[in-house]
Structure formats: C-alpha cells, structure tokens
A = this chain, B = another copy of it.
C-alpha cells in the first residue's frame, strides 16, 4: 500500500477506477482470513477502547447534571456522580456480573435469575497463559483464543453499562435527595436489579429466547435507569416550590449551561463506544462493516434529535431552547440505541428525530403529573428508550409485539423493584433532605463545601 505522501484523492480514485492494485494480493479468500488469535485481539481491543469511551460518559452525566442543577446543589451532584460510578463498578464485580451472565453452570432458574458465584475474576485459562509467558503451549493459547475475546475486557465493557444506568437516576432525583440513601439505592440497582433484567436478554434468558432485541440497551440500560428514577421521584416528591398550589410550574433553571453542553457532547462522544462496541466483535470484515454502520446511524440519529427538538421548540414556544436541544441529542441517541444496526441511514434519522421530538413533549407532560425531574432524564432516557425499543419492531428486524412485551416486562420489574427499595429506604433512613438543607442547598448540608464559594449570587 502506497504510503509515501498519498493524497486522499489519489488513493480513493485509483481504487475506484481500478488503476491501483487492491490493498494486498488477494488469494481466493477463506472465511478465516483473519487468524483466530488476531480475532481475539481485535475483539478484545474493541471492548477495551469502546469501554473507555463509555466510561467517559460518567463524566458526561456529571457535567450535564452539574450544569442543570442550581448552584447550591452542585457539589452534591458532583459527589453523587463519582460515587455512583465507583459503587457500580464494585457491585458489578462483587455480584452483578455473575447474576447477569449465569453461563451454563450457574444457579439458573428457568432463565429468570443468574448465578451467585461472587467475586468475578479473569478466567483460569487466561491467567495460565499469561503466567506461562514464553513457555505457553499451543493448548494453552487455544484455550484462551477459543473464547473469542478476553473475559476481563468483556467485564469492563459490561460494567460501564451498569454505571450508565445508575447515572441516569441521579439527575432526576437531584437537589433534594440525601446522599447516603441515594448511594444505597445505587448499590441495590447495580448489584441486583439491573443484572437480573439484563440477564433476561443479554444473559440469554427468557426475553432473549422470545426474540426480544435491544442492541445496546434502549430498554436494558436507559429505560431501566429511567424507571428506577421515576420510582424515586414519585416517593421523593418534588422540590419545594416547584409546583404551586394553583398548578403553575416554577422554572428552576440550571446554573451553568456550558457545563451542560459539555456533558452532552461527552455523552455523544461516549455513545460511539456504547453502540459501536455493542457489535461485540471486530474480528471480521463483516463485523467491522457492521460497526461502521452503527457509528453512522448513531451520529445521524443524534443529529436529527437535535434538529427536531430545535424546530419543535421554535414552533411551540417561538424560541429555541438550549436545554431542549441538548436533551434532543440525548433523546435521539437513546432512541437509536436499541437498533443502531438498521440497514438504511434514513431510518436512523427518523428514529432519532422522533426521539428528540418526544423529549420536547415529555418534559411538560411529567411536569403536568407533578413528577419533578431536575434534568429531564425521564424524557430523554425513559420515553425515548421505550420509543427506540418499539422502533426496532417497525424499522429493524424485530417483532413489534415482542418488543412491546420486553419493554413492558422490564419496565414493570424495574419500577416495582425500585419502588420497593426506595420505599424501604424512605421508611427507614429517610431519603429526603430536611427543608432547611434543601433551602440552603445540599452542598452546605451534605458535602460541607460550596461548589463556587467565591462567586456572588445574582441579585
């Protein structure tokens, strides 16, 4: 392959016109043109790099939520975000992963519940191969390579998805929840609730057997986070003064919109890992091509979400609204997440555009029901997640009815289980900060420091 000062034009045109030789002498291809060990490396590296992109979404949520809460609750939301990401990883290590992936030897009850082999660790085959070093035998290598990818790379990739689900919750219940009870909920969500429902699909459980399809988690991650948040928001109640007795909604605008914008861009950036990595393999041309299609669909869906959200707000309210545009991007991303492998990009644009548009209608709807969602996460993750899941039954290869069953079943399970946990927490340690703490802000009350101590208040 020519590398000495190629121009983009030259190489592309030469290939297209048949002037240049193809990139390599191409013997009659076998379907194993890529060696098994190379496949293993490609697949593993895809998990790692895409997993790192998803990990960075934790920063995206932290910034989005920091920007959308009020000044006095900013340090608290920062703390919740780094704490929840940490706890999610530890809980998924301790118990979540083995519940989610029971394998064939685990304690598995009709595909409903996984196993309880605590303390996930790398596979014995991998540690043996690594320990053997130069003296590794072909059998040791084969034992590793046969699995198709490194087990810890998969753990890492799945772990960041659990963390994402937990991140969704923190935004909705912000500005009034006590930190420790919130974190206890995160522990239960990431150790038990998320893994159980995820095992039904990605762990090979009953929904997977039915043909329910959720490529990267519109339902399993985003709606799950949304249902857990909804249960919390209902039991927690709205912020003081948010809804007046005469039915008005008091705007409580976010304190730092550039940070919210940054957070949205980080989420968008990380979503290429979320959806692209969910191809789960990179070891063949077919996988690489499919992954590329996923990337493009992810991008155009988000773009359409922004544009439709902007147009709808302009038409409905006579102004563009920055936070709606940001949530439009997220709505578009969430919507395409169930089926980013759709075969024509215009379909992704339709799915994402509707996802973004739904956000604009869902935000006032939740306000109407007096469900106080500080950052709009219910609209962007729960509503758009349901839509995206159903959309696979319209535009993708799935059955609409099966998609509906999956969305409903997981919704009921997660909502009920979360409601019970929130309820117990409310009845025991309490979940809501006292009125004085809420007035003065959680930063002083719970974190003991202000986020912006030197910046004066607007008069």
Contacts and interface: CB of A to CB of B under 8 A. Distances in A.
Contact of A82 (B148, B202, B325, B344): B325
A303 B85 contact: yes
A174 B450 CA distance: 21
Contact of A269 (B28, B52, B296): B52
Contacts of A289: 44, 122, 126, 129-130, 144, 150-152
Nearest to A307: B86
A87 to B, nearest CB: 7
Contacts of A280: 6, 8, 11
A281 B3 CA distance: 8
Interface string A2-37: 111111111111011100001111101111111111
Given A90-B307, A262-B63, A48 B284 contact: no
Contacts of A285: 37, 40-41, 129, 141, 144-145, 150
Given A23-B36, A257-B452, A272-B52, A306 B86 contact: yes
A7 B202 contact: yes
B282 A45 contact: yes
A245 interface: no
Nearest to A47: B292
A93 to B, nearest CB: 6
Nearest to A297: B152
A1 B287 contact: yes
Nearest to A396: B5
A52 B53 contact: yes
Nearest to A6: B280
Contact of A56 (B257, B269, B299): B269
Contacts of A67: 258
For the residues of A in contact with B, the DSSP-based class is: helix
A347 to B, nearest CB: 10
B127 A343 contact: yes
- The range of chain A's interface size is 35 or more
B457 A457 contact: no
Contact of A1 (B24, B70, B286): B286
B451 A288 contact: no
Contacts of A415: none
A142 B344 CA distance: 22
A448 to B, nearest CB: 4
Interface string A85-96: 111011001000
A431 B292 CA distance: 38
Contact of A213 (B7, B82, B152, B259): B7
A243 interface: no
A1 B130 CA distance: 10
Contacts of A152: 289, 292-293, 295-296
Interface in A277-315: 278-293, 295-296, 299-300, 302-304, 306-307, 310
| Residue among A142, A269, A296 with max Cβ neighbours from chain B (10 Å) | A296
Given A16-B103, A82-B261, A255-B455, 6 more contacts: A4-B132, A10-B204, A52-B272, A121-B344, A122-B296, A150-B291
